[in-house]
Amino acid sequence: MLWLVESSPCSEITLGLRSISSIKMPLLKQGKPCGKCGGTLRYVSDRCCVPCKLAKRAKWRSENPDLQRAQNKKFATENREYKLAYIRQWHVDNYEHNQQLCREWREANREHARLYDRNRTR
């Protein structure tokens, strides 16, 4: 069983589930194999097969991009502090990776980088 445990203000549970620090209960369990995909990992709350539910959600997001965009915008406005904490923590955790990406981009886009540096110093 996977347990919901908060380790930092911006940690996330695998499979895209948002963590809630006040609740500590099992989210997933091993169950009977799914008749559709054969997966055995299931959500405790509704007993749905995890791979099938993730595929269904992905399909819905691709079919309803406007609704998904509206949901994302609503979440961002309602959870501004959470988002900022998550971004800060990501930058701390991925500093070296981010620096490497910046170096690669600057090498691939020398002209843009030169213009950026020139405008930045003004």
- List, for residues 33-90, the tens digit of each pLDDT value: 999 999 899 988 888 999 999 999 999 999 999 999 999 999 999 999 999 999 999 9
Return left, alpha or beta for 39; rule: phi > 0 is left, psi -120 to 50 is alpha, else beta: beta
Return left, alpha or beta for 106; rule: phi > 0 is left, psi -120 to 50 is alpha, else beta: alpha
Q: What distance in Å separates the CA atoms of residue 27 and residue 49, rounded to the nearest whole number? A: 12
Q: Is the separation of the CB atoms in 53 and 43 below 8 Å?
A: yes
Which residue type sits at 43? Y
Please determine, for residue 122, whether its predicted confidence score (pLDDT) is greater than 70.
Answer: no
Please determine, for residue 23, whether its predicted confidence score (pLDDT) is greater than 80.
Answer: no
Query: Three-state SS for 2?
Result: strand
The whole-number pLDDT of residue 15 equals 46
For 70, phi and psi rounded to 5 degrees? -65, -40
Which residue type sits at 50? V
Using pLDDT thresholds of 50, 70 and 90, give the confidence band for residue 6: very low
Q: What distance in Å separates the CA atoms of residue 115 and residue 11, rounded to the nearest whole number? A: 37
pTM of the model: 0.53
Tokens encoding 104: 């690669």
